[in-house]
Amino acid sequence: MHHKLFIIGAGAAGLMAAVVAKDLGIDTAILERNDRIGKKVLMTGDGRCNITNESTATGMDEGVALLRKYHSTQAEFPLGVLEQFGIRQTIDYFFMLGLPLTKLKEGMMYPMSLQAASVLDIFQLALEDREVPVYFNNKVVDVIVSTDHPRFTIVCQTETEERVVYTSEYLFLCAGGSAAPNTGSDGSGYTLAQRLGHSLIEPVPAIVQLRLQYPHMKALSGIKLQGKAHIAVNGEVVRSESGEIHFAEYGLSGPTILQLGREAAYHLAEGDSVTVTVDLMPGRSDEQLVDFLEMHWGIFGHRTVVESFIGILHKKLVPVLLKEAGIDQQPHMLCQDLSWKTKKKFYRLLKHWEFKVIDTNGFANAQTTAGGIDTTELVEGTLESKLVPGLYLAGEVMDVDGDFGGYNLQWAWSSGYVAAKSLAQQVAEGKNQ
């Protein structure tokens, strides 16, 4: 079977690239190892699909504002893509496909139906309307490049272990990273790119939970609160985030913590000492907290310390804080009897509660991958390989990852769109024919 363009992977980037390429007149087909499109997209945003984030759509400087949400060894690399196809274009593009979006908290945009399945249904219709074939149950295991035509010979393994060969003039590698490998993106995209001569920046899990070494995690499990968290490497804070924090038996989760996962994963892999410090009272400075509790304990000196925290702290936190402060054996201690030394322990715990991070929850539980194919080997702004003419990369497979809040799907849409548009331009100009 021959098509002008084969796309490896019917995930977010591959689907966007296929629709755009076909609309720009390129005979396109997709090879997908699963028996359906977008298995991972279905899981996104808790089944609602957080497609993008409107909070960085700031008009003139949108690209620059958006760039701050991305990470890559080449920090500026995503800009050339985001400036061509950013948040506004994404919202308009989905509207044009028949999928109007709606905004929930913090600029996060979802399909109006709040169902990730709608995104896939719309892509399915778009592929059918444009007659873009998807060859399912085809895992690409090898790609052979020729200087003659056809340029690419793509070797696939089917469900029955049978080998099938496809050919094309152009190839898009949209096989994702290593996060959530049960959805199909198990890192095989890296192997294919490496076989074609590309280098890999060591991938680590990102947007991922933190595993802590702390004896009382079980007692804290289930607590959800608004706080601030700082991740420190060898004692130096490298990133801070505020918002929802969840306590679990293994450690910490919730949007604020997920955001810090990539830093923890990188530094743990390098053998550094990583800690996370939680601020349970982010609305008050250290001094304000001292003033507040001094006044509170002054007024309610006749109440027990446990009673004094009613309405201030989550009930499950109190026994653990008492243990940490060394007064758990005196549960009836009155506030008026608190020593200065014990009070100081409470102040420290409430603003600077430090935990040792021993691991993350790994690729199986991560939402994305930090690291990937080295972007210095791609042409900035077109995403074509500098090593293999006619090969383009899009999505998570390359060394670009975004923050929590819709920025990884945004990268998949933006890079898929730009790769397809760049190829169409190249074909129109008669280059690389």
Ligand X SMILES: Cc1cc2nc3c(=O)[nH]c(=O)nc-3n(C[C@H](O)[C@H](O)[C@H](O)COP(=O)(O)OP(=O)(O)OC[C@H]3O[C@@H](n4cnc5c(N)ncnc54)[C@H](O)[C@@H]3O)c2cc1C
Establish how many alpha carbons lie within 13 A of residue 1's alpha carbon, considering only the half-sphere containing its beta carbon: 18
Is residue 263 part of the contact set for ligand X (CB under 6 A)? no
Whose Cβ is closer to ligand X: residue 318's or residue 400's? Answer: 400
Size of the residue set binding ligand X (CB under 6 A)? 41
Determine how β-strand 391-393 pairs with β-strand 163-173: parallel
Q: Which of 3, 14, 233, 267 binds ligand X (CB under 6 A)?
A: 14
Q: Return the CA Rg of the chain.
A: 25
Minimal distance in Å, beta carbon 203 to ligand X? 13
Whose Cβ is closer to ligand X: residue 45's or residue 78's? Answer: 45
Is residue 396 part of the contact set for ligand X (CB under 6 A)? yes
Is residue 9 part of the contact set for ligand X (CB under 6 A)? yes
Q: Is residue 296 classed exposed, middle or buried when 0-12, 13-18 and 19+ CB atoms within 10 A define those classes?
A: middle
CA-closest candidate to residue 410, choices 65, 118, 89, 61: 89
Q: Is residue 54 classed exposed, middle or buried when 0-12, 13-18 and 19+ CB atoms within 10 A define those classes?
A: middle
Stretch binding ligand X (CB under 6 A), from 69-77, 176-184, 354-362, 385-393:
176-184
How many Å apart are CA 103 and CA 55, to the nearest integer? 10
Stretch binding ligand X (CB under 6 A), from 70-78, 242-250, 352-360, 407-415:
407-415
Minimal distance in Å, beta carbon 11 to ligand X? 2
Angle, helix 317-325 to helix 340-351, in steps of 10 degrees: 130
How far is CA 47 from each of CA 2, 10, 39, 42, 286, rounded to the nearest angstrom? Answer: 36, 18, 11, 6, 40
Minimal distance in Å, beta carbon 339 to ligand X? 47
Q: Which of 139, 228, 262, 351 binds ligand X (CB under 6 A)?
A: 139
* Residue of minimal Cβ distance to ligand X: 11
Is residue 175 part of the contact set for ligand X (CB under 6 A)? yes
Q: Is residue 243 classed exposed, middle or buried when 0-12, 13-18 and 19+ CB atoms within 10 A define those classes?
A: middle
Is residue 13 part of the contact set for ligand X (CB under 6 A)? yes
How many Å apart are CA 54 and CA 65, to the nearest integer? 11
How many Å apart are CA 416 and CA 392, to the nearest integer? 9
Is residue 259 part of the contact set for ligand X (CB under 6 A)? no
Is residue 209 part of the contact set for ligand X (CB under 6 A)? no
Is residue 184 part of the contact set for ligand X (CB under 6 A)? yes
Is residue 109 part of the contact set for ligand X (CB under 6 A)? no
Using CB under 6 A, which residues numbered 38 to 67 contact ligand X? 39-41, 43-45, 49-50
**In this structure, what token pair is assigned to residue 415?**
């890079």
Whose Cβ is closer to ligand X: residue 175's or residue 427's? Answer: 175
Q: Which of 407, 417, 420, 427 binds ligand X (CB under 6 A)?
A: 407
Close Cβ partners of 310 (under 8 Å, ≥ 6 residues apart)? none
Minimal distance in Å, beta carbon 332 to ligand X? 46
Is residue 399 part of the contact set for ligand X (CB under 6 A)? no
Q: Which residues share a beta bridge with 359?
A: 211
The residue ranges that bind ligand X (CB under 6 A) are 8-14, 31-34, 39-41, 43-45, 49-50, 139-140, 174-176, 179-180, 183-185, 188-189, 367-368, 395-397, 406-409, 412
